[in-house]
Amino acid sequence: MDQILLQILNGLDKGSAYALIALGLTLIFGTLGVVNFAHGALFMIGAFCAVTLQRILNISTITEDPTKTDFLGNPATIKTPIVETWFGPEVGASIIDWSVPLAIFFAIPIMAAVGIIMERGLIKHFYKRPHADQILVTFGLAIVLQEVIKAIYGANPIPTPAPEAFRGSFDFGTYIGFEANAIIYPYWRMVYFAFSAIIIAAVFAFLQFTTFGMVVRAGMADRETVGLLGINIDKRFTIMFAIAACVAGLAGVMYAPINSPNYHMGMDFLVLSFVVVVVGGMGSLPGAVLAGFMLGILEAFASMNQVKAIFPGIDQIIIYLVAIIIILTRPRGLMGRRGVMEE
């Protein structure tokens, strides 16, 4: 029992990332009808927003300390981050410590800008072209974005630690009545899961309870009619693209402490998120979220040693296997709507 619970928890953090990326992909697909292969790159840019903020906060003034010398006899230098001189040493240190959560506020405007530029500058011109062209041009864009990041930040993963308070693990099992040390779970993964749950809830609430969301949903169902009613649906869809980019970016920001950002993390997640979208059903938001968590948890179960002993290598292929079975047996995915992407 505790084993099963542990695997479900293990699957949750990856599942959250899949769900968030797949949610953004589905938003873009449902509104604009574009298959966005550059969505993984948006996830990566988000993670690098966290890296950038961390670097900005660590910009320091260098002063010499005449009382101490280093081993060569030169006066020792002291680096004082500018934040610490501004806000005082204690507040400054904690600001640096909390750089990853703070990066959320840093990332939102950047991701929104990237999203709008991408949609207005490039993807707009591809609405009328075949899906293959959309896939290819966004695939090219993904390569370019990835290489730009590589040129700026280098090819090595950059460690981006979580705040001190959330490092380490806690004994989750004792809270729900298991014996001690049965279920040990890192704090930050819990935070990540809670964060993604909030984001997902916010997106759904936005679509469900605001007038803007209502118009967007109407546009998803019948774009032409909404346009004929005198509503500028294109503008709203552009904003939805920006929101989808923000969702992917925030998923990346918070993922940075779990997996040190490197330039190809986007590509790694992209393939899996596409599989997630297809399993959930093209164009279905709840389907994307459900499939994201489901596949994350399945992957965790498949990497248990007991399972691997029976089916060697199953942990590597389980997601693809499930996707193949789903596509062949339920062509619309788990919760796909009728008439979406059926050729």
Partner 1 sequence: MLKLNKSDTLLFIIVAAMVLLAPFILNPFPQGSSLAQMFNAGYPDLMQRFVIFGILVIGFNILFGLTGYLSFGHAAFLGIGSYSAVWMFKLLSMNVIPALILSMIVAGIFSLAIGYVSLRRSGIYFSILTLAFAQMSYNLAYSVLGNPSSNYNLTNGETGLQVYSNDPQYFASSGAPDTPHLFGMAMSDSSKLDIGSWQFTFNNGYYMSGILMLVAFYISIRIFRSPFGMMLRAVKSNQQRMNYTGLNTKPYTLAAFVISGMYAGLAGGLLSSMDPLAGAERMHWTASGEIVIMAILGGVGTLIGPIVGAGFNEYFKNILSKINDGILHQWLSFLPDGLENFIVGILHYFVGKGWHLTLGLLFMMVIIFLPGGLVEGGQRLAKLFKRKKTEDGSDSNNTPAE
Choose which of 5, 82, 95, 135 interacts with partner 1 (CB under 8 A): 135
Least CB distance from residue 271 to partner 1, whole Å? Answer: 6
Report d(CA 103, CA 80) in Å as an integer.
21
96 near partner 1, judged by CB under 8 A: no
Per CB under 8 A, the segment of 53-61, 85-93, 174-182, 270-278 that binds partner 1 is 270-278
- The residue from 76, 78, 117, 144 that contacts partner 1 (CB under 8 A) is 144
65-73, 100-108, 132-140, 182-190 -> range binding partner 1 (CB under 8 A): 132-140
The reply to whether 120 sits near partner 1 by the rule CB under 8 A is no
Q: Tell the smallest beta-carbon distance from residue 150 to partner 1 (Å).
A: 8
Q: How far apart are CA 320 and CA 313, in angstroms?
A: 12
Structure tokens at 202: 């916010």
Q: Under DSSP, is residue 317 helix (H, G, I), strand (E, B) or coil?
A: helix
Q: Quick check: 310 binds partner 1 (CB under 8 A)?
A: no
Degrees to nearest 5, angle at CA 138 with 133 and 144: 130
d(CA 7, CA 25): 27
Residue 341 sits in the site that holds partner 1 (CB under 8 A)? yes
Is residue 58 a contact partner of residue 96, using CB atoms and an 8 Å limit?
yes
Judged by CB under 8 A, which stretch of 69-77, 160-168, 207-215, 315-323 contacts partner 1? 315-323
How many CA atoms within 13 Å lie on the side-chain side of 189?
18
202: nearest Cα among 108, 282, 281: 108
CA angle 53, 58, 59 (to 5 degrees): 105
98 CB-contact burial (10 Å; exposed 0-12 / middle 13-18 / buried 19+): middle
Nearer to partner 1 by Cβ, of 239 and 267: the residue is 267
Stretch that binds partner 1, among 97-105, 108-116, 238-246, 267-275 (CB under 8 A): 267-275
Stretch of residues binding partner 1 (CB under 8 A), selected from 106-114, 133-141, 194-202, 223-231: 133-141
Binding site for partner 1 (CB under 8 A): 35, 122, 125, 129, 131-133, 135-137, 139-141, 143-144, 147-148, 150-151, 267, 271, 274-275, 278, 282, 312-313, 316-317, 320-321, 323-324, 327-328, 331, 341, 343
